[in-house]
Structure 1
């Protein structure tokens, strides 16, 4: 067996598999949070946003709810991956920078996950917004080469 091929596989063959894994994991981790907010009604989130001094808290609560639910599902499916991932990333950046930043001091300890979870997801979704859905996505099926599918690293 070629050790170099094992340690450094051809990204034209493996990048879309990696994107698929990250897309499905991140999307399916985020969507239930949006669903829970939708079922509870975004009023609770809106109250928390208002308490933090955020403008238009009801609008922001609905945007966060839909971004998490629909953005998570769309990313997992690889449908409109870049805009869905960008919206989800932005939502997670707002979440950790406004609601959970104080918890960053607790990274690695109890309570640190309140910061870690949205931070890691914001980075994952940002990477997907940059890279796109890859070969194994609905984007590739529906839009083909227009979105970069099949040109090597996609």
Structure 2
């Protein structure tokens, strides 16, 4: 772009600055390219005339506060709940899926590492019938159910046995210790000592599963890919 064309553009912008409405429109329309072009006038063979430099400073002295306010409004819009909800609602099930799925898998894996027989002994001490069968059933539900929730597959189907496992754990173990799961009792030699956990964690997992049942699994899910298949099966069953 040569100096004469830039001078025409700059003079036109400065003339608009005398009119408030036009000046507002010009300020909103200025792009990074326009600003860079105006500032780069004369960088090369010669500097721009003194009058043109003064006009450029006058233009940016008017536009800079307005551009700053527009940028600030755009930044603050990110913190408006309705603005976020309008754009991110479809992704809201993802954090629930990831934490519930990973949490169940972590508990099932821990029971495998510590040997299922030990878990069966614990169930027997709690008075759970068929402790060996229930131990393996719980591990399978936690591992496979957690993985299914993580990838968003067959969520309405796997959520039922997962909720049953949580309710059994609540009734047989955690309910008698109240609501709070984390009970810091003391710190001995720098090591925190905790009391028996309540049913808080069980309730949070149940709430997460129910939320997925009510709202759907969201994007990046196997169920979203199989939605048409589910619809055909439902039509045939009617």
Structure 2: gaps of 5 or more residues: 1-72, 185-194, 232-238
CA–CA separation in structure 2 for the residues paired with 1:10 and 1:82 = 28
CA–CA separation in structure 2 for the residues paired with 1:107 and 1:35 = 21
| 2:213 is the alignment partner of 1:132 | no
Greater mean alpha carbon deviation, residues 95-104 or residues 6-15: 6-15
| 2:104 is the alignment partner of 1:30 | yes
Change beyond 3 A, Cα 1:41–1:112: closer
CA–CA separation in structure 2 for the residues paired with 1:87 and 1:129 = 13
List per-residue Cα deviations over 1:23-76 (Å, max 9, x = no partner). 011111221110121233322222122112111111111111111111111101
4+ aligned runs moved over 6 Å, structure 1: none
Q: TM-score, normalized by length of structure 1?
A: 0.77
Query: Offset at 1:105?
Result: 5.4
> Which of 1 and 2 has greater Rg?
2
Aligned pairs, number: 146
Query: For the Cα contact (< 8 Å) 2:111–2:139, is it kept in 1?
Result: yes
In structure 2, the partner of 1:151 is none
Change beyond 3 A, Cα 1:87–1:98: same
Change beyond 3 A, Cα 1:132–1:61: farther
Within a 5 Å distance, the mapping from 1:113-128 to structure 2 comes to 113-128=197-212
Query: For the Cα contact (< 8 Å) 1:49–1:57, is it kept in 2?
Result: yes
Query: For the Cα contact (< 8 Å) 1:16–1:136, is it kept in 2?
Result: no
Q: TM-score, normalized by length of structure 2?
A: 0.52
Bigger relative contact order, structure 1 or 2 (CA pairs below 8 A, ≥6 apart): 1
Within a 5 Å distance, the mapping from 1:5-154 to structure 2 comes to 6-8=80-82, 14-104=88-178, 106=180, 109-110=183-184, 111=195, 113-144=197-228, 146=230
Aligned-pair Cα RMSD in Å: 2.8
Structure 1: gaps of 5 or more residues: 148-154
